[in-house]
Amino acid sequence: MRGLYVHIPFCVQKCSYCDFYSLPNRLNSLKAYIEAVLQEAAQYDQLRFETLYIGGGTPSLVGVNGLNDLMTGLTGIFRIPKLVEATIEANPESISQDFLQSALKQGIKRLSIGVQSLSDTELQKVGRAHNACQAVQAIDLAQKEGFRNISADVILGLPGQNWQSLMTTLECLTGWGLQHLSMYCLAVEPHTPLAANLPGDLPCDDEQADLYWQAVELLGQRGFKQYEISNFCLPGYECQHNLNYWHGGEYLGLGPAAASHYKGCRYKNKPDLDAYLADPCGQKDEVEKLRKPEKAAEEAILRLRLLQEGVDLSGLIQKYGENNIMALAARLNQLSMKGRLLRDGFIYRLKPEDALVSNTILSELLGD
């Protein structure tokens, strides 16, 4: 399977915790940006993709005309007549009926909404551009327009957040019939306004962990399967684009800061909108050719994030050859003997209770 990711690096304003590549006040570059993306895409003429993910930034800011131009251009360049899944991200402050109708008309049937919380106080404290009422209206509008595969992002550990407020957010989202939730713990990234001005009411690591486990339990009771450390869905609504990523599949990323894994190489475009507009095809940075043993180890690490599926060693042997996975197999075995991984024949899994300390275990797998 191969996935196509298009990055839309525009936002209404910058959230205090954000270290993604996105810029406020640059929507005047939108038309030129779509042209630049299509120019970059044209290098891969006729490539076939099974999934499309338009992410950001805030893709709902491109509006009806921007989305039409982008989709018409992409469908003219690539072979994407029968996508398994097409997703667009949207933020509540910029979702409109016209935009949703246009997305559906373009065959984009999965919507991922940046809700983050349904507490106005929590949203304001991290500088989100929307309030809870706008999030509720956005979900309602999307459902009325006919979206039947909606995901919401939720942040755990927001300043002042407690279990009562998180529970309200999760109970509302699941109660309204959303199919998918992505739930990430707030990370204080260096050089962000949040790091420069840490709020006194930021939940500590232990409190964040308590929120996570309470949320996992509640979502389980609501019928949501935890198919990845931070992702939960009703049966059959796993995000196929991200599954391909966790399965070590190929993907092509277009736009500044977008990452790709294509023809055995990993690379990333430079995070610089102006440089990208000037030369969309000349931004590849960090080209890394992976050797088979490294690729196999990387795939194992990604697959272990899939808590129920885990990593199947026999599949890796078939894909990479026995010689290339011998060291990896020995490490997986060691970790299972130490009780750090569960083993069932050829299948290795993280213990669900280790979901929050997975990085330590996964780095042991790399031999760090």
By the criterion CB under 6 A, which residues form the site for ligand SF4? 11, 14-15, 18, 20, 22, 56-58, 91, 114
Q: Using CA atoms, how far apart are residues 188 and 193, in angstroms rounded to an integer?
A: 9
Residue whose Cβ sits closest to ligand SF4: 18
Quick one: 16 or 226, whose CB is closer to ligand SF4?
A: 16
> What are the residues facing 228 on neighbouring strands?
231
Quick one: 56 or 66, whose CB is closer to ligand SF4?
A: 56
Contact 52, 108 (CB under 8 A): yes
Residue 273 DSSP class: H
Q: Taking the complex as a whole, how short is the minimal distance between the CB of residue 309 and ligand SF4, in angstroms? A: 28
Q: Taking the complex as a whole, how short is the minimal distance between the CB of residue 56 and ligand SF4, in angstroms? A: 6
Quick one: 18 or 154, whose CB is closer to ligand SF4?
A: 18
Q: Using CA atoms, how far apart are residues 346 and 329, in angstroms rounded to an integer?
A: 10
Cα–Cα–Cα angle for 120, 234, 107, nearest 5°? 85
Quick one: 56 or 248, whose CB is closer to ligand SF4?
A: 56
Q: Taking the complex as a whole, how short is the minimal distance between the CB of residue 88 and ligand SF4, in angstroms? A: 14
Quick one: 20 or 262, whose CB is closer to ligand SF4?
A: 20
Q: Taking the complex as a whole, how short is the minimal distance between the CB of residue 129 and ligand SF4, in angstroms? A: 7
Quick one: 136 or 167, whose CB is closer to ligand SF4?
A: 136
Q: Residue 98: how many CB atoms within 10 A of its CB?
A: 12
Q: Taking the complex as a whole, how short is the minimal distance between the CB of residue 345 and ligand SF4, in angstroms? A: 41
Nearest to 97 by CA among 141, 146, 152: 141
Q: Using CA atoms, how far apart are residues 285 and 322, in angstroms rounded to an integer?
A: 32
Do the strands 51-56 and 2-8 form a parallel or antiparallel pair, or are they unpaired? Answer: parallel
Quick one: 119 or 226, whose CB is closer to ligand SF4?
A: 119
Could you give the strand order of the β-sheet that contains 110-116, starting from the edge strand earlier in sequence? 225-228, 231-233, 180-185, 149-156, 110-116, 85-90, 51-56, 2-8, 250-254, 259-262, 265-269, 284-289
Q: Dihedral of the CA atoms 362, 187, 206, 358 (nearest 10)?
A: -10
Q: Taking the complex as a whole, how short is the minimal distance between the CB of residue 63 and ligand SF4, in angstroms? A: 16
Q: Taking the complex as a whole, how short is the minimal distance between the CB of residue 80 and ligand SF4, in angstroms? A: 25
